[in-house]
Structure formats: structure tokens, C-alpha cells
Amino acid sequence: MPKGPESFGGGREQNETDELKSEYQARGDEANKDAIKAAQKEQEKNFNVSPAAVLEKLKNNPAAKKVIGYAAIGAAVGIFATSFILMSASKASASNNSVITNAPKAMVEQAMTPAMTPVTTPEAVTVTFENDGNEFAGETINGVKYDYTEYADRENKVAYNAYGYDYTKDYNDRNAATNSIIRMAEQEPEALASYAYNAFTDDEKQELGIKGLSMVEIDNKFDQAGGGDLQKSVLSKFSQILKDDKTSFNFYRENDTEQTNYVYFVDENEDGNYTPDELHLGYDTKRRSNAPQVDISRTITNPDGTTKTIKVLDLNMNCGYQPNYEKAPQGVPKIESNKPVPQVISGGGPGGGGGGEDPTPPPDPDPKPVPPDPVPPDPDPKPTPKPKPKNPENLERIDDKVHKDIGKDDNTGRVNPEYNPGVSPEDITAPPSPGDYGGTAPVTTPNQPSQGAEDVQPTNPGNDYGGDQGGANDGNANENPVEGNDQSQEEADRNEQTDLPSDSGESGDELADLGIR
């Protein structure tokens, strides 16, 4: 599934290669294929550096983004320091003065988040699950810790049933990706189950007591007695694999169809709360378009001392690091990624282990009973839990007003950037050299004694090129000098010379008639 660097479009191609080829043929050097190949290679090197492509690469390079980020912080502080002065002068409301007056300092402090400072290798990643009133976090009776805050934050996720947020920011950053994946595994036992199923060898699964289980069954095991200890062991092993030197991360863009894990909720307790026993693994088929992914593999040593590289995980970064598969994962029901599932999951079809390309999902091997009500419930039987606003009864949205303030200009979608066109060589003409136009010498005829002097024809001022007539390049010739393109200049000179009339009698007469010689 990993693919090489993608190309973004066309460049200068066949025309120039054909010209070169013609040139070599004209020189009788048709066999000089090496030169043609070299020219083609040069074109490929310059193949598509479009502004949009460069921008996309900039976004995906953490080092470049940091440099731009530091500049943005400086710019923002400059802006809001000025605004602060204006706001103070206009005497904003007392309750908001503290916000505005502290804005510059807050901007800098807030902006200098860990993302803006150099990333350091973590010693250990731990997540505290303190029950501080967060309705989405806690610990089960079996000691399994969970935190579904990110999962439940649907407004900020790409898909309804996605594991979590968009982690494209981790692209090309192994440390950041490692941290994010481990945090996801700690927060959601379902995610951990999917990771363990894919990442562990049979021996490792055997050691942990999960050999032969599907990912759904591993998830169920967390819900049983001893689930907490199992979670700790599996998490520890998984973290170890990700941080191992023999594990490699390959970030790439996906443009194919694949199957991807999701997590869906069935409110079996009928209380609207998310607990591990009510959240389950599913999968959906997705058509990717330039989607950021990370392919993780590791090298292991066989008993006979030989080594081999095995796949660990292929993860989709857009939706919280969900595992991808070419074929439907075994024992996992198919769901819709962007909708809440009905309370009854239809799991008909062949028995578990069918997998492959059979579109009919196998029956859900989940031993828990399906809720008895076979009739699809109302579209929204229970409100989806989400963070509560501060003053829900008094909340008046101002989105529309703010949209108008932004203006239509930037609300019509992204406009591709363009390079600075600068001054092209075609805009500049070479200045005349001093000797080019020396004027025309007057035609004189010796005065014959027996004849009167001939009238001297008045010189047509229009033909006098001796003086500075001014013009487009008057005095400006050297402001934007053409940077040497010696070859083309020599070629032009050569062509110009061949255009000059040869020194034939006929031509010489014509030139003489014109008064040139």
C-alpha cells in the first residue's frame, strides 16, 4: 500500500525533448541518446514545482512549519500589541478588558505550545485518568482505564465514528506520531485491541493470552475480569514496539480504496454514557484521496538468527490513527463511518473468519446479547453526548455575523497560490551599443569645375540615428540586467550574422544605393 512520491501534474515535456532530438539528428548525431536522456532527466528533475505542490510540502514538513510558526508569532505579537493600545483607548467593557489587555502575552504564551518548541524524545508516555468530573473518562470495574473525550468530540473529528482527531500535523514526525498513537491506545481500549491484533506476532500474543482472538474478541477480553491487567500488559508491549530502534515509520499519501477500523457506540446501558463495554470495533470501506498515512514495520530476529521485516500497522492519520486493511478484517462488522449505528447491528452472512472480499459482514462474534427491540428506533433516540456550552439557555450564535465580517473573498474555497512573476528576460531589450547607429554619411560629389555645385540634399532628421532618441530603454537598460544566458545570446548572434547579406555584387550595389557603402 505505501507508494512512492506522487507527482502533482505536468511540466515541460515532449516538445523540448523532440526539439533536442531533431537537433541531434540534424547534426548527424542521432545516436547520441545519452544526451537526450540527460535532457529528459533534467526535465523530470524540474517536473512540477507548482506553487500549490510546494505549499503542500511545506505544510507537511515540521521544520519548515516551525520556521514559519516563529515568524507568525512575532507577527501576531506585533499586531495585537497595537490592538491592545487601541482597545485600551476605546475603554472596552470591564469584563473583557482582562482578555484584551492580556492578549499579547497570552498570544505568545499560548502560541508557544509544545508544538512550537523542539520535540524531544519522550521517556515514557503516561495518561492520568483522574475522575475530575469528566463524563467521558474513568475506570471500569475490571480496572480498565479509558477516556473518550476525543472520541466524543464529534464537531472536531472528520468522521462520526473516527477514533479521534486529524493528526496530519504529525506527518513526517516519528516522535509526534509515536506519542499520538500511544495516547490513542491509552484512551480507547478498542483502539488498543485493533493495534495489538495487527502489531503482535503469534508468540507475543501467546505470551499475553490473546493468541487466536480477533480484534473484537481482544476488545471484549478487556471487559472481563482481569481486563485492567491485560490492558496494562498489552499497552506496555505495544509502546515498546513503537519506540524500538528496529521499528520504522514510513509516511505516505494514499489514493486507493481500503478498509479502515472505526468505533461505534451501542447504548446498552441506556444512559447515554460512553463506557468500554458499549463501544465496539467496526470497519468501513473508504476511497482515499491524498490521505496522510503511516506505514509501520519492524525487523525481528528468527530463532535461527536470521531476520525478517514484518508489518506492524498501516494507519490513517486523518481520523485518529485507525488501522487500514486491503481486505475486510475478520470478525469485524461493517458499519457506516459517518453515522451513528442503529441499535441493532445486522451481522448476517458467513461465519466468522470469512473475511476476504465478501461484502456481507460476518455475524458479530460479540457474546453480549443484542438489545431486544428489533424495530429501528427514532433517528435520534438519545442526544449524543458532547461538551456542554457554558450558558446553553442564553447562547446566541454569532457565526453569521462573523461570516459577513470575513467577507466572501476568502469563503469561496482555497485559491491556489502563484509565484512572483518578477521580470522575464523578454521584457528587457538589450541597449544599442554606441557604434551601432552612426548615422548616414552624406553623399558628396566632387565639384566639377565645369559644373555648378550640386544641391546638397537636406538630411532627413528621421534618418539620423547618431543622437540619443530616447525610448523604452532610455537610461534604464541596466536596472534589470538579464542574467547571462550566454548560449542563447551566442546563438542569436550566430543567426544574426547568417542573415547579413553576403558580399555579392548585386547586394553591394543595393547597399550602395541605400548609401550604406
In the complex with another protein, the residue whose CB is nearer, 212 or 389, is 389
- Closest approach of Cβ 65 to another protein, in Å? 7
- Closest approach of Cβ 361 to another protein, in Å? 28
- CA 25 vs CA 18, 22, 110: distances in Å: 10, 5, 65
341 binds another protein (CB under 8 A): no
- How far apart CA 84 and CA 101 sit, in angstroms, is 6
103 binds another protein (CB under 8 A): yes
Residue that has been written with the C-alpha cell 475490571 in this structure: 142
Taking the CA atoms of the chain, what radius of gyration do you get in angstroms?
A: 37
In the complex with another protein, the residue whose CB is nearer, 367 or 383, is 383
- How far apart CA 120 and CA 123 sit, in angstroms, is 9
404 binds another protein (CB under 8 A): yes
In the complex with another protein, the residue whose CB is nearer, 402 or 443, is 402
Q: Which of 77, 129, 83, 128 is nearest to 105 (CA)?
A: 77
What are the φ and ψ backbone dihedral angles of 408, each rounded to 5 degrees?
Answer: -75, -25
Q: How many residues does the chain have?
A: 517
One-letter amino acid for residue 1 of the chain? M
What are the φ and ψ backbone dihedral angles of 407, each rounded to 5 degrees?
Answer: 95, 160
68 binds another protein (CB under 8 A): yes
- Segment interacting with another protein, rule: CB under 8 A, options 34-42, 182-190, 255-263, 414-422: 414-422
- How far apart CA 326 and CA 286 sit, in angstroms, is 11
Options 1, 106, 477, 482; binder of another protein; rule CB under 8 A: 106
Site for another protein in 130-169 (CB under 8 A): 155, 158, 166, 168-169
Q: Which of 130, 223, 149, 147 is nearest to 185 (CA)?
A: 147
- Segment interacting with another protein, rule: CB under 8 A, options 13-21, 366-374, 394-402, 443-451: 394-402
58 binds another protein (CB under 8 A): yes
- Segment interacting with another protein, rule: CB under 8 A, options 101-109, 137-145, 194-202, 229-237: 101-109
In the complex with another protein, the residue whose CB is nearer, 64 or 225, is 64
- How far apart CA 325 and CA 321 sit, in angstroms, is 13
DSSP state of 157: S
55 binds another protein (CB under 8 A): yes
- Segment interacting with another protein, rule: CB under 8 A, options 273-281, 324-332, 349-357, 408-416: 408-416
- How far apart CA 108 and CA 97 sit, in angstroms, is 18
64 binds another protein (CB under 8 A): yes
Options 130, 378, 399, 506; binder of another protein; rule CB under 8 A: 399
- Segment interacting with another protein, rule: CB under 8 A, options 106-114, 189-197, 222-230, 442-450: 106-114
DSSP state of 502: P
In the complex with another protein, the residue whose CB is nearer, 115 or 428, is 115
